[in-house]
Each structure stands twice: as structure tokens, then as C-alpha cells.
Amino acid sequence: MIIAFIGDIVGRPGRKIVKQHLNSIRDEFNIDFVIANSENASHGFGLTMKNSKELFNSGIDLMTGGNHTWDKKDILALLEIEPILRPHNYPSGVHGTGVFKTEINGEKLAILNLMGVYTMPMVTNPFICAKDEVVKLREDGYKNIFIDFHAEATSEKRGLQQMLKGQVSAICGTHTHIGTDDLSIQDDTLYVTDVGLTGCRDNVIGMESTAPIKKFLTGLPAKYDIPNSCKSILQLIVIELNDGKAVDGFKIKVYDEGKPQVVQKAFREN
């Protein structure tokens, strides 16, 4: 089975470049299932009903979230009716779930969405949550397990990788919006600290630069906005899975109207 993961899709420019390129990338690389983090898909903050439809129609099968999941009120209904996850380590009783189970060509696949702790809302311990959930999934016969770990701290992401390598198929980081170059496979688990955003690339993490610069210069709050026009990027990780193991992985980037380029192959650590 071949799955793909797109990191944080930011605003209309992010949705637009996904719409332009994703279906042809799916065909070219024989991708069976596409996961994407949509916490910033609607004007940078949250996800609306309309934009979720647009993204599902663009070739995405399942969406994950993070600290911005709750920014648009539509999410409460969306979590009930659509294949959309929020981090699993929110306390029990919170809307939605962070686990999705499916079957692709007769093979079971589970997706787990988690959120880190450093600079994040108060959630339960993601490491204990991950450990418990992976045990449950494996007992239920799910060997193909993909994790979106939405976290600020690189140390938390590396910690999860070291704790779960060999037990899950892939751990891909999101939230920082800046892609890292450490795509690797260790003990059959694919890992990257952050996939990087899909959206505007010539500003501050997908947002128009004026407000963040003002905030950094003064310490005062500023209203962040998506640029009206920008240079855009689509970034995704493609992962080939076999019996729960990541056997191959690579990163694809598309700049603006250009062609998809394989920019990095996962380095095999052993």
C-alpha cells in the first residue's frame, strides 16, 4: 500500500496548489490513500464546511488537526460527519477522535493524530496516549499505523520516534510549518520531524509578513493574515508500506505551477 501525507495546508493558496496538483500526483505515484493536516486550511485558522468539501474533492481522504482545529465553529459538526481527526490526547469528553481505521485493498490501516505539550494547549500526555493506543491497534490487527505528531518541540518528536520505532509504520511531524531534512527509516519506521507547510512560501510560516514583524518588534499582538498573492509550495511525503513496515519513502515538492519533484529519499538507518 502506498500512502501520502501533506503537512499543514495554510489558507486559500494552500488549498489551491493541492487542487492543482494532488490528483495527478496520486496517479503518477500510485498513491492509495492521502492524509493531510487541515488545521490552518481556512484563512490560516481552522477549517470550514465549504473548505473541507473542497479539500476532499481535491484528492484528500482523511484530515488531521492540531491546536488550530477549533478555530472555526464548523469543526464540531465536521468531526461528527467527516473523516477528520483532532489530536487524540485531548481529555475524554472533547468532541471527535484522534484515531481512524480503514482498509486499503484488504489491508488494515490506522491513523493516529497526537499533539505535543511544549507551547501547546493543555492536553493529556501524548507519549502515554501513543503507547496505549498503539498496543490497542496492534492487538486489533493493525500493523500499518501512521502518526501525525503535531508538536513544536523537535525533542518531543524525536522522543516519540525513538519510543515507537519498530512498532508503527510512520511518524510525520507537523505544526512548525517549516520542513526538516531528516526523512529516514529506522527499524522499519519512517520519520520526519516536520513535513513543512503547503501554501505561501515567501513570508512567515504561510502568513503575510507585516503582522509577525510588527509583533516581533513591539511585543504587541497583531492580526495574522494570508497574503493576497504569493509564491506557493506543495510538500508531501510518500510512504510505501508492506505488512506494517515502511519499505520506502520520499518527499515531493511542487513550486507554483511547476512539476512535482522528488527532493529527498528516506535515508535507511539500518
Just list the catalytic residues: 68
**Contact criterion met (CB below 8 Å) for 235 and 7:** yes
- In the range 156-175, which residues lie near Fe ion by CB under 5 A? 175
Q: Tell me which stretch binds Fe ion (CB under 5 A): 33-41, 76-84, 223-231, 249-257.
A: 33-41
8 makes contact with Fe ion (CB under 5 A): yes
67 makes contact with Fe ion (CB under 5 A): yes
Size of the site for Fe ion (CB under 5 A): 5
| Binding-site member from 13, 46, 66, 249 for Fe ion (CB under 5 A) | 66
Those residues with Cβ within 8 angstroms of residue 30's Cβ, 6 or more apart along the chain or in another chain: 2
Exposed, middle or buried: residue 216 (CB in 10 Å: 0-12, 13-18, 19+)?
exposed
Q: Tell me which stretch binds Fe ion (CB under 5 A): 2-10, 136-144, 219-227, 228-236.
A: 2-10
> What 3-state class would DSSP assign to 103?
strand
194 makes contact with Fe ion (CB under 5 A): no
Provide, rounded to whole angstroms, the least separation between the CB of residue 5 and Fe ion: 14
Give the residue with the Cβ less far from Fe ion, 67 or 184.
67
Per the listing, cell 493543555 goes with: 122
**Contact criterion met (CB below 8 Å) for 148 and 65:** no
**Residue 182, all three cell numbers:** 531528516
Q: Tell me which stretch binds Fe ion (CB under 5 A): 66-74, 88-96, 126-134, 162-170.
A: 66-74
Provide, rounded to whole angstroms, the least separation between the CB of residue 8 and Fe ion: 4
244 makes contact with Fe ion (CB under 5 A): no
Q: Tell me which stretch binds Fe ion (CB under 5 A): 57-65, 67-75, 94-102, 236-244.
A: 67-75
DSSP string of 201-261, one letter each residue: -SSBTTB-SHHHHHHHHH---------SS--EEEEEEEEEEETTEEEEEEEEEEETTS--E
| Binding-site member from 38, 40, 52, 113 for Fe ion (CB under 5 A) | 40
Provide, rounded to whole angstroms, the least separation between the CB of residue 233 and Fe ion: 14
> What 3-state class would DSSP assign to 111?
strand
Give the residue with the Cβ less far from Fe ion, 26 or 175.
175
Exposed, middle or buried: residue 20 (CB in 10 Å: 0-12, 13-18, 19+)?
middle
Give the residue with the Cβ less far from Fe ion, 8 or 240.
8
Q: Where do contacts with Fe ion occur on this chain (CB under 5 A)?
A: 8, 40, 66-67, 175
